Each structure stands twice: as C-alpha cells, then as structure tokens.
Amino acid sequence: MTVEKTSVLVLDCAEPLELAEFYAALLNAEVRIGNDPDFVEIVGNAGVRLAIRRDLGYAPPSWPRPEDSQQAHLRVLVAHADMDEAEREAVGLGARPVDTKDNGGPRDVRIYSDPAGHSFSLAVDQGPPQSAAQRPL
C-alpha cells in the first residue's frame, strides 16, 4: 500500500509574516501561524498550500541576471479573461514585473518578483492535464 502524501512549497525570506500576507492576499487564502513564528503557512481553497520560512541570512535570487539560476518559482494559474486583473492585483500588492521585454498585447505568462525577491508567474490555466489516452491523435 502506498502511503498518502502531500507537499508544500516553502519559500525562504527575512520576514515570513509579511511575505505570507502578500501571498495570502494574492491567492485569496489565509495565513496560519503555528507554534514556530519563523514558519508560516498559507492555505486556501482549490488546494492552495504554501509556506514561508525565516532565513536570517536570506539573499534574494538575482534571476533573471545570468550569474545565478532561478532556483524555483511559483506559477499562479488564472483564467485567460482574468489575466489583466490578476496582474493589477499582484502589482497592487507589491509584486514587481520582471519580464518586460514583451509588454504589448496579450500574453499567457507574465513574470514578477514578490516583495522578498522570489520570482513567480501568472499563467493562463489550460485546464486539467490530459492523460496520454485522452489526448487526440
């Protein structure tokens, strides 16, 4: 029997509560603070689960500059019709656009950095993934 598992992406930063509040507002989720004030979780509907951990020596990634890799990023899925509004929300909450080379017209993926410097993207939700058997030939 396989043991049931779940996962949570953990982002490091200097101020976990501030970053948790940013993502909770962006994802329409709630902040949950447990016994450890240096570890804060964000939990929301539709399976949203993210955690923020204090790292006293935190330095944000320098991506997209080539000297450092991107490390990891969060992809936030939205309906195509909601992309512009989602972008206004993210920027209004403190996100900074990163990918500005093609700002004209509709785009299916838009890249930002959060207030602590982590990259994340808003991307058009293409719907549930199809298995190989469901894909048209």
Residue 3 forms part of a structural domain: no
Q: Which of the four pLDDT bands, split at 50, 70 and 90, describes residue 18?
A: very high
In tens, the pLDDT along 105-135 reads: 556 888 899 998 888 888 887 765 554 455 4
Residue 33 forms part of a structural domain: yes
Q: What percent of the chain has pLDDT over 70?
A: 72
Q: How many CA atoms lie within 13 A of 124 on its CB side?
A: 8
CATH number of the domain residue 98 falls in = 3.10.180.10
In tens, the pLDDT along 36-62 reads: 889 899 998 878 889 998 988 887 776
Residue 2 forms part of a structural domain: no
Answering whether pTM is above 0.85, one says no
Cα–Cα distances in angstroms (integers) from residue 42 to residues 26, 45, 65, in the given order: 11, 10, 29
Query: How high is the pLDDT of residue 19?
Result: 94
Structural domain total, the chain: 1
Bond into 97 cis (ω within 30): no
> Rounded to whole angstroms, how far apart are CA atoms 4 and 89?
35
Residue 131 forms part of a structural domain: no
Residue 68 forms part of a structural domain: yes
Residue 29: give the domain boundaries.
Answer: 9-124
